[in-house]
Structure formats: structure tokens, C-alpha cells
Structure 1
Amino acid sequence: MIADALGPVFLLILFGALLRRINFPGAEFWPGIERLTYYVAFPALLVHRLALADFSNADFVRFSLVICAALLLTSALAWLLKPLASRNAADFTSMFQGAIRFNTYIGLAVASALFGDPGLVIAAIAVSIMIPLANILSVLCFSLVIDGNSKTLSGVLKGLLSNPLIVACLLGVALNISGVGLGHAWIEGLLARLGAAALPLGLLAVGVALSLGTVKQDWLGIVLASVLKFAVFPALMLGLAMWLELDLLSQQVLLLLACLPTATSGYILSRQLGGNAPLMANIISAQTLLAFAVIPLWLLLV
């Protein structure tokens, strides 16, 4: 089941690399696709998912505590490793994103395949908490370390509130809490179809940017990001879930979400905000492959 969920994702990345190699449809085509994905497709996906999320079937407070604590502790450790982890600020932003971001599409697909509808409900609720926080932490990282980004409090806040992913998260949650939802079925259908384009376009863009020749020189960033992502983050998530006595299914789903490979949107963010996009692409590809082995091993523990 896990292989069935991860296989198409990795094949899409490889297909993007093939398109780049044969120069189809041309190098000038992909920057526009990246902007479309970043400013339209991914925000549409976030608004659609968060506006329709059902928060009534889980302990939202304990879920929030477990997820927020695990994300914040992993982020803090990544910052402590900053002097060791990167040659420059752009490298660090890729390592940081590789440590805390997660591939929502893979998570929901695997949760549904492994745990059925009950697991999918828990995963959707958890994702609605993780997406805004992971995006806020990622944008904050860029605002603080990349030259040219404002480092004043007002500048950081402006960067957060003008980021399309953050705006989409806030809008989706507001529509959900207010009870407005997405209104007309046409709007829901529009957002669902725009959001559906985010995964294939994002993965193809990652493949286009993938340069296997740079993997060797990027090995330190890839290794550190993957250790934080596949060892530290899942261990914290599982330990906190057990400590707060969440039920077994909730522990399994939260563990699954914690050991997912990093999100393809991290590459788009790197391209738009001045990060090391090729390193980010290599981290995404390496982690997607590693997840085939890591996810089953972690799930065996619980």
C-alpha cells in the first residue's frame, strides 16, 4: 500500500527530469508553471481542504499540543544545527524545510489505504493543524536568514501575511470556523480542480530542477534534513502522543504524518523566496525514495 502511494510520486519527479533532459516544452515554460503552482494551485488546495475539514471527531486541543510541540522542537533543533548544516543561508532554508514540511498528498493517501475512513478523518484534522504551522515556520525561516528579506518584526509579519500559502490557510480556517464553508458547489468544484493540479505540476517542477550531479556535494544537507525528518520528528510526535495518552489509531496516524517525505511545495517556496532550489529538489527526491523503507519501520513500532 505504501509503495502504491509513493511510487507514482517518485515517477512524476523522474518524468519531470526526463522532460528537462529532452528540453520539452522548453526551459522558458517552467518558471511560469512554478508561479502558477505557488500562487494559484497550492493556495486553492489549502483553502478547499481547510474550509471543509471536520474538527468534530477528535480531541482538537491534545492534537494541537502534540503537533505544535513536535514541530517547534524539531525546528529548534534544526536552528541549533545551522552552523554545521549549511554552507550558506540558502542551504539552511532547504535543510529546514526538509526537516519539518510533509507531503500532504502522500499522507492522506496512505492513511486512507492503511486505516480506512476513521484514519482518514484523523489525518485530515491533523493536516489542518500542521499545514499552517509548517508554512508559517518555513516563511519565517526565509524572512530571518535570506539577504534582502526584511528582518524587522514588521517585515517578518508582512512577509507572512503576504505569502499566498499562509493567506490560503487563514482563509480556509476562517471559512470553516465561521460556518460559511465554500458556499456554492461551483466554488467548491473550482477550488477542488485547481488544487488537484498542484500535485502533478509541483512534482514535475521538482523533476525539472533535479540535478543528480549535485547530490554528492549536497549530501550533508540531505542527510541532516532526513535525520531530522525521519528520526527526530517522528520520535517526538510518537512520544508526545503517548505521553498525552492519545488512542492507538491517533498515535499511528500522527506518526505516519510525521515520517512523510518533505512537501513538493518546499521547492516552489525556495524558488520564489531565494532559497537553494536545487538542494531542495534533491532533498525531496531523496526523502521520497527513503520513505519507502522508513514509514513501514516506524509503523511497526505501534
Structure 2
Amino acid sequence: MSVLIEALVPVFGLIIMGYLLKRWNFPGEGFWPLAERLTYYVLFPSMLLFKLGNAQLAPSAYLEVAVLIMAMLAAMTVLLVICQVIWRWPGAVYSSVFQGAIRFNSYVALAASGLLLGDTGISLMAIAVAVMVPTLNVLCIVMFALVAGQGGIKLKPVLKAVATNPLIIGSLAGVIWSFFRIGFHPIIAGLLSPLSDLALPLGLMTVGAGLQLKALRGASVPFLVATAAKLVAFPLMTAGLALLLGIDGLLLQVVILLSALPTASSAYILARQLGGDAPLMAGIISGQTLLATVTIPLMLGLLW
């Protein structure tokens, strides 16, 4: 447990640092949105290409990751439908609960896997991200169309956004690079390596800068259900599915870590654009990010 805590303290320390710097308006009002764009479009894709391109993964690893991710999402969707049958929330509320319980913060995923599991772990996590991000985007859009009164939502723009997602492009490029054993010329490696090193700390600080702690006032039952489902039920369910599928070792550690992470910051944007409960979504994102400092070490200590 002490090893886990020592590895995770820098992750959440950087998130808190980003929150404090943003609160103190340092280095300036316009810095953090630009830093997030730089991280999203340049630093993280560079890191994914470099880490995955250097990885030596067995071909079977890709299929195992895809099968387990799909099983995880299917099981969690069933659980969330059951929750809606029990509580019967309005569509806008349920769509935010759904996002809060099933999505994950990819920045924290890649940073935590890199610190805890090394380069092979971050490579497996990158594959999981490449599978999970497009699947979750389509799943959440469909859910909005069904429950949030947003009939007529078109999937074509969503699919286009998924296809041009820098994290997916970086992951797929890295998989191809690794599969064909292309390797990196020293000049290219010399460029990608420092960009890769910069991605994780800056990405985590932008997560902190995006926290809205005021949204936590008056935490409600939907907040509690989404948070308990995401931070506790999801990792437990994932561990059970991995056991049933005979998956263990490093891949098991990766998917348990992935399922234990707080929800994605981008869920707020989707809730605001498509008729979800945006204030509730902001509270879920901020609350889960803070609570994850406690629940992630507990879940990993229990299930690893």
C-alpha cells in the first residue's frame, strides 16, 4: 500500500498544484486553456506515439484489451440502467449520472499507469484508451438521445470528432509503429522524448485547473450514486470480469486502475451541449477527482 501511495501522491499533487495556480491566477488568465490545447493536440499524442512505438507487446494483448474493455462497458451500462429503474431520475440528471459513472480521465489514466506500471503498463493503457474513448463517446451520445430529450442528435459529427481525436490518432500510430518494428531515428526520438516527459505533469495540472469545487455544494443522491458506481463498483466489477475471462498480471492491473479513475473533465462540455445537467456534472467531476485520492489506493491495494 505504501508503494501505491508514494506513486500516486505526485499524480494528485500535480492536480492540486494546477488548481491552486489557476485560483491564484498564475501565470495568467489565458494560460490554462492554451496549456490544455497544447497538451491535448501535441504533448499527449507525441507521448502515445513514442511509448507505444517502442513497446514490444504480443499481438494477443490487443485483442485481450478490446474484449475486456467491451465487457466492462456492457456490464456497467446494465448496472446504470438498473439504477435508473430504481431512482427514475429526469433524463438530464440520468445522462450526467451515466457519464459520471462510466467515463474516465485519460490524462490521469496515462500518468498513473506510467508512474505505477512503467512503459509496458502505459503502452497497455494507451491501447485501452484507444478502444475506450470512441466507444464511450458513441455510447454517451446515444444515451443523451434516448433520455435527455435531444432527439435528432446526429452521429456523423460525433464519429468525425472521434476519428480526429488526437489521443486515438497517437495511439493508433504508436500501435502501427510497434507492430512493424519501425523504430525511431535518434533525431526523432530526441524530439519525442522531451515532449513525452512534459505531457504528464502539464496534463495533470490542467486537470486541476479545470476543477470547480463550488459545484460540490449540496451534493445529491445522483452525485453519490455516480461516484460510488465509478470509484467503487466499477473496479470491483472489472476485477470480477477479468477473473471470469482468465486475465491476470499486468493487464489486470491496467484495467482495474482504468476503472477506478475519476470521470472525464470533458463530460461537462458534453452535458452542457446536449442537454444534460451541467452543474451536477461539474460536481461529479470535481468530487470524484478529490475522492479518488483516497479510493484509488484502496481499490488497487484490495484488487491488485
Assess same fold via TM > 0.5. yes
Give the structure-2-normalised TM-score: 0.76
Where do residues 53-72 of structure 1 align in structure 2 (5 Å cutoff)? Answer: 53-56=55-58, 61-72=63-74
**Among 290, 294, 299, the residue aligned to 2:295:** 290
Return closer, same or farther for 1:100/1:180 CA change in 2, 3 Å cut-off: closer
User: Which amino acid counterpart does residue 190 of structure 1 have in structure 2?
Assistant: L
Post-superposition CA distance 1:136-185 (Å, at most 9, x none): 1333256543999x93343332121122222222222222223324x312
Q: 2:125 aligns with which of 124, 127, 132?
A: 127
> Is the alpha carbon distance of 1:46 and 1:239 closer, same or farther for their aligned partners in structure 2, counting shifts above 3 Å?
same
Equivalent residue number for residue 97 of structure 1: 103
User: How many residues matched?
Assistant: 287
How far residue 232 of structure 1 moved from its aligned partner, in angstroms, is: 3.0
Gaps of 5+ in 2: none
Deviations 1:163-213 (A, max 9, x none): 2222222222222223324x3122233223222222222222222232323
DSSP 3-state at the match of 1:3: helix
- Given the two structures, how large is their TM-score scaled by the length of structure 1? 0.76
Structure 1 Cα separation of the partners of residues 112 and 49 of structure 2: 18
- 1:176 equivalent among 171, 175, 178: 178
- The residue identity in structure 2 corresponding to 1:231 is V
Shift of residue 216 of structure 1? 3.0
What runs of 5+ residues in structure 1 fail to find an aligned partner? Answer: 113-119
For residues 74 and 237 of structure 2, the distance between their equivalents in structure 1, rounded to whole angstroms, comes to 10
Change beyond 3 A, Cα 1:186–1:57: same
CA displacement at 1:54 relative to structure 2: 1.9
Q: Aligned residue for 1:116?
A: none
**Is the CA contact (8 Å cut-off) linking 1:14 and 1:207 kept in structure 2?**
yes
- Structure 1 residues 93-102 or 4-13, which shifts more? 93-102
Alpha-carbon separation, structure 1, partners of 2:74 and 2:105: 11
1:159 aligns with 2:164: no
CA contact (8 A) 1:103 1:260 kept: no
Q: What residue is the counterpart of 1:9 in the other structure? A: 11
Query: Which residue number corresponds to residue 24 of structure 2?
Result: 22
User: Which residue number corresponds to residue 197 of structure 1?
Assistant: 198
Question: What residue is the counterpart of 1:31 in the other structure?
Answer: 33
Q: CA deviation at 1:4?
A: 0.6
Quick one: structure 1 residues 29 and 61, their matched pair in 2 at CA, closer, same or farther if it must change by over 3 Å?
closer
Paired position in structure 2 for 1:227: 228
1:106 maps to 2:112: yes
Q: Distance in 1 between matches of 2:208 and 2:12?
A: 9
Correspondence for 1:262: 262
RMSD in angstroms over aligned alpha carbons?
A: 3.6
After TM superposition, the structure 1 = structure 2 runs for residues 67-78 of structure 1, keeping only pairs within 5 Å, are 67-78=69-80
- What are the Cα deviations for residues 46-96 of structure 1, in whole angstroms up to 9, with x where unaligned? 222222222229665445433431234324544665764953756754444
